[in-house]
Amino acid sequence: MDKADTEIRTQNLADKESFLEMMAVERGVSHRTIRNYGRDIDRFAAYLGKQPKNLRQTSHEDISGYIRLLSDNECAPATQALCVSALKQFYSYLYGEKIISHNPAQHIERPKARRNLPKVLAVQEVDNLLEAAASPEGALTKKNKAKAHRLICLLEILYASGLRVSELVSLPKTAVHENRDYLSVIGKGNKERIIPLSEKAKEVTLAYVQQSWPVLVPEYARCQKWLFPSAGKAGHLTSARFAQLLKQLAVRAEIDPDRVSPHVLRHAFATHLLEGGADLRMVQQMLGHASITTTEIYTHLQQERLKELITTHHPLTDES
């Protein structure tokens, strides 16, 4: 490495570290975001280094060319957008500190991330999952029966409420009451929302609390507050473990496990409600979406499924 390359690397490193320190200290950005910003700046610096240029010598054309390169290499639009965001923040900082005389990223547009339609299970497939959960494999010890009962309860509540998986596994035992037909959930932003429970979900949950919860709850007190207690650090079943149990259940139900996750069941809840004639605003409230536009993805999904149905079954589409 010659002297010029060393100077470029040293200067780039100093500017990057100064920017990341500001983001961490003054703006309180998360460690993960700091790490991602640093990675994106390093990759762009490596791209510039082939010219060679340092980060302070960047032009609008340099950044545009780099984004085109990412696109040519089939980098996902969402990843490109995150990279552009990092560079815009970085160069805004350098310009604000008068380290550079112009901001080359000012007029760079963020690539629009493609909005993928969510995966959804058919009603029959959800029924198949529940049937598989009701027929556990392995030795039917008292504890294994309780675990199987817990999985059925998790499925029934999730499909009946559309909770986020983090909300589901961390439900307190007090969330369930025999005289109530709803759940009170504290979601994102510490906001409470009320979600009605179906009779089936309520019945299964109360039976689980009375019969299986006492078998599963460890003796130490810190786990006894949770509806789904676990001996792990959190004191309750983790999201990752529940997702793993769902994959195993999907195999037994003869469903591709790649199509099954807690989030997919949340999607199924919303989609099946709308197909049954539910109001979009009502679904928004139950899902805990801050914006109705987030919930509207399910109306797009319905349109896609209708299009597929017509294409597959309408006689006028038969070109033979």
Q: Counting Cβ atoms within 10 Å, is residue 103 exposed (0-12), middle (13-18) or buried (19+)?
A: middle
Mean pLDDT score, 264-278: 81
pLDDT recorded at residue 182: 81
Check whether 148 has a pLDDT greater than 50: yes
In the block, tokens 């923040």 appear at 89
DSSP 64: H
Residue 80: closest CA among 110, 36, 43: 110
- Give the torsion through C-alpha atoms of 248, 251, 256, 262, to 10 deg: -30
Show the tokens assigned to 105.
């990223």
The CATH 1.10.150.130 portion of the chain extends over 3-96
Mean pLDDT score, 51-72: 91
Instruction: Band the pLDDT of 313: cuts 50, 70, 90.
Output: very low
- Residue 43 near residue 49 (C-beta atoms within 8 A): no
Q: How far apart are CA 312 and CA 291, in angstroms?
A: 34
Q: How far apart are CA 275 and CA 77, in angstroms?
A: 31
Residue 287: closest CA among 120, 158, 113: 158
Instruction: Band the pLDDT of 293: cuts 50, 70, 90.
Output: low
Q: Which amino acid is at 227?
A: L
- Residue 148 near residue 138 (C-beta atoms within 8 A): no
CATH fourth-level superfamily of 123-312: Intergrase catalytic core (1.10.443.10)
Q: pTM of the prediction?
A: 0.57
The CATH 1.10.443.10 portion of the chain extends over 123-312
Q: Give the architecture-level CATH label for domain 3-96.
A: Orthogonal Bundle (1.10)
Q: List active site positions.
A: 164, 188, 263, 266, 289, 298
Check whether 295 has a pLDDT greater than 70: no
* Cross-strand partners of 192: 186
- Residue 287 near residue 295 (C-beta atoms within 8 A): yes
Q: How far apart are CA 91 and CA 102, in angstroms?
A: 9
- Residue 145 near residue 136 (C-beta atoms within 8 A): yes
pLDDT tens string 207-255: 999 999 999 887 667 788 899 998 888 889 999 999 999 999 999 999 9
Check whether 59 has a pLDDT greater than 50: yes
- Residue 183 near residue 175 (C-beta atoms within 8 A): yes
Helix (H) or strand (E) holding 249: helix 239-252
- Residue 183 near residue 195 (C-beta atoms within 8 A): yes
